Amino acid sequence: MRQVSFIILFAMLRMAASAQTAKVDTVRMSLQQCIEYALTNQTVVKNTTLDAQISHRESQEYTGIALPQLTGKFEFADYLKLPTSLIPAEFFGGEPGTYVPLQFGTQYNGTANVTLSQLVVDGRYFLGLKATKALAELADKKVEASKIETTESVMKAYLSNLIAAKRAEQLSANITSFKKTYDDTKALFQSGFVEKVDVDRLAVNYNNLLAEKDKVDKLVALSFYLLKFQMGMDVNQPLALTDSLREADFQSVLQNAATPDANNRIEYQMLLDSKSLSEMNIKRYQVGYIPTLYAVGSISYQAQVNNFDLIPSSQWYNTAFIGFNLDVPIFDGLQKARQVQQARLSLQQSENDILNFQNSMNLEVANSKTDLQNAIASLDVQKNNLDLANEIVTISRKKFQLGVGTSLEVTDAESSLKDAQTNYLNALYDAWVARIELEKALGTLSRFYQ
């Protein structure tokens, strides 16, 4: 029995050690590290990167069209029944207008052939080669666009987490401070210096703080899940953030917004590439009127025998030729002319999109500047309100302790402080988001990962 107990105990210790070993370590990351992690692991970035690699491979594939094309072919036929041909009977002295059926040939036939072709002149090829390279470059820009979107999402998720954590920290401090006031008031009530309603009023406020703290703690946990999702990280991976919540030099971003440059926006660059592709499309149809020339050459060997000895004893008869294929378009029912007209209309659409983007970017920058200016002003107001609320709480507590104030004044002051803290954090969050939005509108958000 002791031996069995020892075995069970040993197994339990082994399981505990394995569980301890399997425990995942907490990863500590700054905002910059989170962005870098996301740009490597986020599914959207990974897929757009794969799309870009596919586009580059397609461009390389198209390049191969201009290289010599060499094909080989071998054909074998076993004529179980030889084909019949009708020969005019008069060749053999028969009645004119009649035919004699004859079977001739060999049972086994083999043909080996090698053909070489080379593109010599085709205006569409060289234009198509240029277009495939442009498409590959456009795919690279789509990767950059996905990186910018991912960076924005990660920054906002990281910021939300810091805000929630700071709110939880403030509530913890409020609870600790209020708990002392509550305990002191209970002691005064037991000594007969205050009324029970004062204790009850403080108890209600204290319980509300505990309930709110519980909600904020859950919000912190949820914000971690959101951040890890935006990063492409396993949501069950423990994560700790090393950056702290702080105010930034928001004014410097406003100064950089004085002269927005559309070339900094990846979307604008993509529109320019689309316009270039539209121009190539017009040329593609125009060069369709140009003849195409291919050089060809072929060599083949053929054997015809009645015994199955094609290889190697049969006699092979060879044939070879060289030449060219020249395709000259003459009239296509005006199809190419209509295609050119359609391509030109598409080019006008591309030009309209570029003009519209320039206008929309200026509007976006103006709106973002206004949002950031309002956020900065609101942040200054809420910061002053927070300082005043802290001062009022300190005074109301001292008055209550000295017996010249009431518990109602304390609860009101505590409630005002909590609201001021919340308003300040909201204003700080709005300021950061407005800054992120403005940098995105200016096309400078990529500086966080370049």
Distance CA 99, CA 77 (A): 27
For 164, counting Cβ atoms within 10 Å of its Cβ (0-12 exposed, 13-18 middle, 19+ buried), the class is buried
> What is the per-residue pLDDT for 311?
64
Beta carbons of 276 and 134 less than 8 angstroms apart: yes
pLDDT tens readout for residues 382-421: 999 999 999 998 898 888 777 787 778 888 888 899 999 9
Whether the model pTM is above 0.95: no
Q: Tokens 């094909």 label which residue?
A: 71
Distance CA 15, CA 353 (A): 64
In this predicted structure, the answer to whether residue 8 has a pLDDT above a threshold of 60 is no
Can you point out the beta strands (E) in 225-328?
Answer: 239-241, 292-305, 317-327
Q: Tokens 């070489």 label which residue?
A: 116
pLDDT tens readout for residues 227-265: 999 999 999 999 999 998 888 778 888 887 778 889 999
First to last CA, the chain: 67
> What is the per-residue pLDDT for 21?
43
Kindly give, in sequence order, each residue whose CB lies less than 8 Å from that of residue 434, ignoring residues fewer than 6 positions away: 250, 368, 371, 372, 374, 375
Q: Where are the alpha helices (DSSP H) in 23-42?
A: 31-41
pLDDT tens readout for residues 183-233: 888 887 887 777 888 888 888 888 998 999 999 999 999 999 999 999 999
Helix (H) or strand (E) holding 206, with range, is helix 196-231
